[in-house]
Amino acid sequence: MKLAALEPKVSLLLNNENLRIAERLTLVCELLQSEVAYYDWVGFYFKNGDKPELKLEAFAGEPTDHTIIPFGKGICGQVAVSNANFVVPDVKAQDNYIACSMYVKAEIVIPLFVDGENIGQIDIDSHTPDPFTEEDERFLEFVNQEVAKILA
């Protein structure tokens, strides 16, 4: 399936003003996790107030203990400070990695910017080795831009 085919559905869910933003984000996580075979866990982390840490705001997949992640720790914490996409084809090759499940083989984290500021990220875990391509990066950048519009 072409990921871009999901873009109108993502926009529709995010623009449903009858729901709170956290509910809309959960629906987007559920859509992505159910529609993309190799997206096994999908979540949005955001900067936790003024603290140098990320807080899990919405997710689909198995619950995780890692609802708070300090800046710099793990793949997510590194993206909070690097402001750059982080594609991990093999999590075992990473030293600074926080394991959420023994089944996870690969991970992708894309920062989310509002007015040029890195305020959060979308994080996806996969049980498939090395599944992510530039198509995923472009698609997830689109998702984050759509989220940024409702947060701005």
Residues that bind ligand SME (CB under 6 A): 41, 43, 64, 66, 69, 74-77, 97-98, 100, 107, 123, 125
The secondary structure of 17-46 as a DSSP string is TTS-HHHHHHHHHHHHHHHSTT--EEEEEE
Q: 12 or 99, CB closer to ligand SME?
A: 99
Minimum separation from the CB atom of position 94 to ligand SME (A): 7
Quote the DSSP letter at residue 110: E
Report in angstroms how near the CB of residue 12 gets to ligand SME at its nearest.
26
Tell me if residue 142 falls in helix, strand or coil: helix
Alpha carbon separation from 47 to 8, 15, 24, 104, 115 (Å, rounded): 27, 22, 18, 24, 15
Residue 24 or 123: which CB sits closer to ligand SME?
Answer: 123
CB of 22 to ligand SME, least distance (A): 17
Give min distance, CB of 144 to ligand SME, in A. Answer: 17
